[in-house]
């Protein structure tokens, strides 16, 4: 899912699902700094915790599923993603992976409250809110590009729409009783985060290779780190 944070602007393709909420009248890509866009990973970068687990893994483990089930689904995703050269194969495989994970969680009758309890021990990285606010004040466009789960963001940074212009993340959907019943997968799979960064830069009118920064923590973000003008390991997990 790409969270909408302002009035939508349909364009006829996947871009219609993404909007921004930068103050009206302020050119998005114009500030006095070299870098115009800063994109962040979520798991392990903006969010920290003791023996930190990737958000999907946090829920897999918390709901009592084996490592084998997780590995089997990842293996199936990789096989399906490589069946064709088109981007759509990767995206469909990723959506299927998210959907199957969600269906497994539903067999445990997972609720929002139950999953939120698993998230509770996590914390924002030091000075997170003040640093983000300072960058916004300087006119820098901020984004989250994560293969993780929106529940972590909602629980730990509930006012994220006031801090970020773009948020790319998977959204779990709950029914009126709080039971998990669906997932809205984002348009960019495990290998598509660089495409998300390019999309942001295209929307705000700046160059990925000259004016974009990505902040992450591990080698799984290698593609987007190589695509950005500047990559920062925070913390340098690998």
Q: What is the DSSP string of 15-60?
A: GGG----PPTTS-TT--SSS--EEEE-TBTTTEE-TT---HHHHHH
Mark the ranges of the chain whose per-residue pLDDT is less than 50: 2-26
**Residue 230: what pLDDT?**
97
**Residue 212: what pLDDT?**
97
Q: For residue 162, give every residue at least 6 positions away whose Cβ sits within 8 Å of its Cβ, in sequence order, or none.
A: none
Nearest Cα to Cα of residue 132 among 144, 124, 142, 123: 142
Nearest Cα to Cα of residue 133 among 169, 159, 155, 151: 159
- Geometric angle at alpha carbon 173, from 167 and 175, rounded to 5°: 150
Give the predicted TM-score (pTM) of the model. 0.87
**Residue 27: what pLDDT?**
54
**Residue 4: what pLDDT?**
39
Give the percent of the chain with pLDDT over 70: 88
Query: Are 96 and 77 a contacting pair, CB within 8 Å?
Result: yes
User: Which pairs with CB-CB distance under 8 Å and at least 24 residues apart come from 50-55?
Assistant: 50/121, 52/122, 54/148, 55/148, 55/149, 55/151, 55/152
């Amino acid at each position: 899912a790409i969270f909408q944070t302002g009035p939508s602007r349909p364009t006829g393709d996947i871009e219609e699902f993404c909007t921004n909420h930068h103050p009206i009248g302020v050119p998005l890509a114009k500030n006095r700094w070299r870098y115009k866009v800063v994109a962040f990973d979520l798991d392990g970068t903006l969010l920290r915790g003791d023996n930190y687990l990737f958000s999907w893994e946090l829920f897999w483990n918390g709901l009592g599923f084996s490592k084998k089930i997780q590995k089997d689904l990842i293996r199936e995703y990789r096989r399906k993603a490589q069946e064709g050269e088109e981007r759509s194969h990767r995206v469909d495989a990723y959506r299927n992976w998210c959907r199957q994970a969600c269906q497994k969680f539903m067999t445990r009758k997972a609720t929002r409250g139950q999953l939120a309890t698993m998230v509770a021990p996590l914390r924002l990285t030091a000075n997170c809110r003040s640093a983000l606010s300072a960058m916004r004040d300087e006119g820098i466009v901020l984004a989250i590009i994560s293969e993780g789960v929106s529940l972590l963001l909602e629980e730990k940074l509930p006012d994220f729409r006031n801090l970020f212009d773009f948020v790319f993340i998977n959204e779990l959907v709950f029914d009126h009783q709080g039971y998990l019943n669906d997932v809205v997968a984002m348009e960019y799979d495990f290998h598509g985060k660089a495409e998300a960064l390019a999309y942001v830069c295209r929307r705000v009118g700046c160059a990925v290779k000259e004016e974009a920064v990505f902040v992450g923590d591990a080698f799984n973000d290698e593609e987007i780190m190589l695509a950005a003008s500047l990559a920062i390991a925070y913390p340098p997990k690998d």
